[in-house]
Structure 1
C-alpha cells in the first residue's frame, strides 16, 4: 500500500512515542477527524459493508473469537499479495481482492466483509493504516473487543493486541461513522 509517507512520518513524529503500555492502552484512542487514505474514495458506495454500522452491537463471544482467528488465517493463506500498480495500473485503489488477489487494504476489507457475514458486528471492525516495521505504509483490520483492540494482518497469522505489533498507527475508521477516519493517538 502506498500512502502519504512524508505526511505520515511527520504525524508519527508528533503522535508516536515509545513507553511501556498499560492495560488502558489496549484500546486505540482516536483523535480528530482526518482525511481518508488515498484510494479510499468511493469505497463506501462500492462496498457498503465497509462503512456499515450495526443497530445492535454486541460483545464478541469466545466462539466468535475463534471464527475471527480462523478467518484471518484462511484469508491470509488463500489471497495472494498483488499490488495495485500491477493489477489496476494505479498507485492506490481500495477494492476487494480480485481473482488475482489484492494488497494489504484489499485483504483487510475482505476480512471485514467476511466477519460481518459471520455475524460479527461491524462496530467491532475498523480498518486502520500504519507504518509497518520497514516504515512502509500498510493497512490492517482492527477488531474491538471488551479486552482491547486486536490486529488482523495479512503479514502474519498471529492476532496481536494493537499495541504489541510494533507498528506506528496513523489513522482508523471512526467507530461512530465508518465513512470517516480519525487520527490514532499513541502514548506508548
Structure 2
C-alpha cells in the first residue's frame, strides 16, 4: 500500500476529522486539471526546514525520535500542495510566512536560530491565539494556520515509519487478531499497519 492510500484510509477511519479531510476522501486530487508552476514550488527547502523545526518543538526528541527525524516538513509540503484546496493552501502559506516574520520581529532572530524556551513561548502564544480564534470563528471563516500545522505534524509523525515503529508499539499485520490487549498506564499506544 502506498503512503497516499494509507493516509486516505486513515482519514476515512478518523471520519475525515483532519483539516482537508474532504480532499483525502476525493483521493488527494493529485490529478488537478491545471497544476500551476507555483504549486510545484509552493515550499522552498528553507520552508520545509522551518516546518521541521516547528514540528520538533511540538513533538521533541526524547527517548524516541522527534518530528524532525520523521521529516514532517516534507510531509506537510506534500499534503498542503497535493491535498488542500486553494483557500486552505493560501491560509497555510500565509500563516507560515506570518509566523516567520512575527517571530523575527519579536525575538530579533530567526526561529531556526532560537533557543528552545523562545520557540516554546512563541508556540504557546499561538496556542492561546488559536483558542481565541475558534471561540469567535464563524462557519465561513478559514481554519487557523497553526491548528492546520499541528494536525499535519501529528498525522505526519504518527504515520511515518519513525513514529509508527518507535513512538508507538508496532505489530506488523497480518497477524493474529487480539480483541483485547492489556494496557498498563504510561505504556505507549498501539500502531497497527
TM-score exceeds 0.5: no
More strand by share: 1
TM-score by length of 2: 0.26
TM-score between the two structures when normalised by the length of structure 1: 0.26
Q: Which has the higher contact order (CA 8 A, sep 6+)?
A: 1
Point out the structure with max Rg over C-alpha: 2
Structure that is richer in helix per residue:
2
